[in-house]
Chains A and B, each alone.
With several copies, the nearest count.
Chain A
Amino acid sequence: MSQVLTREQVARRAARDIPDGAYVNLGIGLPTLVANFVPHDREVIYQSENGILGMGPAPPKGEEDLDLINASKHFVTLLPGAAICHHTDAFAMMRGGHLDLALLGGFQVSSDGDLANWSTGDEKSPPAVGGAMDLAAGAKAVWVLMEHVTRSGAPKIVERCTYPLTAPSVVDRIYTNMAVIDVADDGLLVREIIPGMDFEALQARTGARLRLANDWRPLNGV
């Protein structure tokens, strides 16, 4: 019987793929966990949309600085070598293709790499977009980290997003609690599946056609 990954295991798996020296923006939620699992011999520079480059971990309790928060409004620290800039410059980094990677949460991803992660289209709740669209449109690569299906079991990887789009054709790779999937020019290519789950079972939980890479491997949460 297959065991889906925990949120931490998804974060840990994605962290393994972040290259040494990369400039990375971690979206709100699951992606934020990734920083905890990047191997210590890699130097990764985290950017935050509110003008921080070179963010460090959360401060010890009692040492929070009101002027040092990340995009999720959580307290952070600065690493030696950090730089502060204003918002317009921070978004020039994001929109201008200077970030190597954006790791984002997702409501839905389509087989074309369309991303929906800012709105469920609920008319009662006020909409809020923040920097999601700038980041999705601008980073050199976009990885989405999310559960493979919703709580009610509906696939989040779909032929066509039904939720409002954040940006079309931007997602390069999807890390779920069941698989690692590349968004290739010719569709979705499964790179890894959790042990105990076969391709057909994964396909059954996915709303878009998948192909299995020849060199696919078991997805180990480590």
Chain B
Amino acid sequence: MLDKRVNSLEEAVSGIQDGSVILIGGFGNAGIPVELIHALIDQGARDLTIVSNNAGAGRTDLSALLSTGRVRKIVCSFPKTSGSVVFDELYAAGKIELELVPQGTLSERMRAGGAGLGGFYTPTAVGTDLANGKETRMIDGREYVLEKPIKGDFALIKAERADRWGNLTYRLAARNFGPTMAMAAACTIVQAREIVDLGGIDPDQVITPGIFVHRVVAVPNPQPAGQA
């Protein structure tokens, strides 16, 4: 029987090794897997590379993870926000490495990782500092930058509904990076507000097919992200 459900947040994040690359969903405070991040903090893995659009706000979730000092590097598009107090301190102190990637390129690089591609040519960032040192190429009269795939060892994702095969739906703009990160990680770990029986999600309405998901844990009342 194929059953991806696990009984606890602790079990959900078990086996995350030091040095892992972890993709963490969310944009602003929507779609952030708050409970999984706190379980990861409790689990204790260190020397992590985190790929996430923002670098945390307030003091909880991603900021709380950063403040443990266990994140070596963050790959993101928009680390500096009004609420990114923890990241700002670490960055100013030289205690965290930052790889800044344009948001669409970040998302597309993970998609390439998930889709088995070796890289792609994008017009984004051509002629800017963020293309410095990158290979460029003229194709049909337009200049493009070569970008390489990003793969995660793990992904932490927040979904609305799941079944035991790992099929997922999301709620509104909390979907954001979830479907792409799920594809791009060797082990995709999902917290879902609700786990339904097989067949409880209309096949036409599945957003992430279960093949991209490896563990599902129910978190019926998730906490909001970015709290003080």
Contact of B209 among A43, A69, A85, A138 (CB under 8 A): A85
7 contacts between A and B (CB under 8 A): A51-B175, A91-B107, A130-B102, A131-B77, A131-B103, A132-B102, A134-B105
B211 close to A87 (CB less than 8 A): no
Residues facing A in B173-201 (CB within 8 A) are 173-180, 183, 197-199, 201
B108 close to A88 (CB less than 8 A): yes
The closest CB in chain B to the CB of A100 belongs to B211
Contact with B along A62-104 (1 / 0, CB 8 A): 0001111100010000111111111111011111111100000
- Inter-chain CA distance A67–B222, complex, in Å, is 12
Interface on A for B, CB 8 Å cutoff?
20-21, 23, 43, 45, 47-54, 65-69, 73, 78-89, 91-99, 119, 124-134, 137-138, 164-168
The closest CB in chain B to the CB of A124 belongs to B92
A26 nearest CB across to chain B (Å):
15
Contact of A167 among B127, B163, B197 (CB under 8 A): B127
Within 8 Å of chain A (Cβ to Cβ): is B88?
Answer: yes
B116 close to A130 (CB less than 8 A): no
Within 8 Å of chain A (Cβ to Cβ): is B221?
Answer: no
A93: chain B residues at CB < 8 Å are 209, 211-212
Chain B contact patch, size range: 35 or more
The closest CB in chain B to the CB of A115 belongs to B128
- Inter-chain CA distance A83–B206, complex, in Å, is 6
The closest CB in chain A to the CB of B87 belongs to A126
A59 nearest CB across to chain B (Å):
12
A82: chain B residues at CB < 8 Å are 203
A97: chain B residues at CB < 8 Å are 116
A51: chain B residues at CB < 8 Å are 173, 175-176
A81 nearest CB across to chain B (Å):
4
B80 close to A125 (CB less than 8 A): yes
Within 8 Å of chain A (Cβ to Cβ): is B172?
Answer: yes
B78 close to A92 (CB less than 8 A): no
A138 close to B107 (CB less than 8 A): no
Within 8 Å of chain A (Cβ to Cβ): is B45?
Answer: no
B178: chain A residues at CB < 8 Å are 86
A88: chain B residues at CB < 8 Å are 107-108, 110-111, 179-180
B126 close to A167 (CB less than 8 A): yes
A67 close to B104 (CB less than 8 A): no
Interface hit among B11-19, B24-32, B36-44, B65-73 = B24-32
A96 close to B116 (CB less than 8 A): yes
A73 close to B28 (CB less than 8 A): yes
A164: chain B residues at CB < 8 Å are 128-129
Within 8 Å of chain A (Cβ to Cβ): is B56?
Answer: no
B102 close to A131 (CB less than 8 A): yes
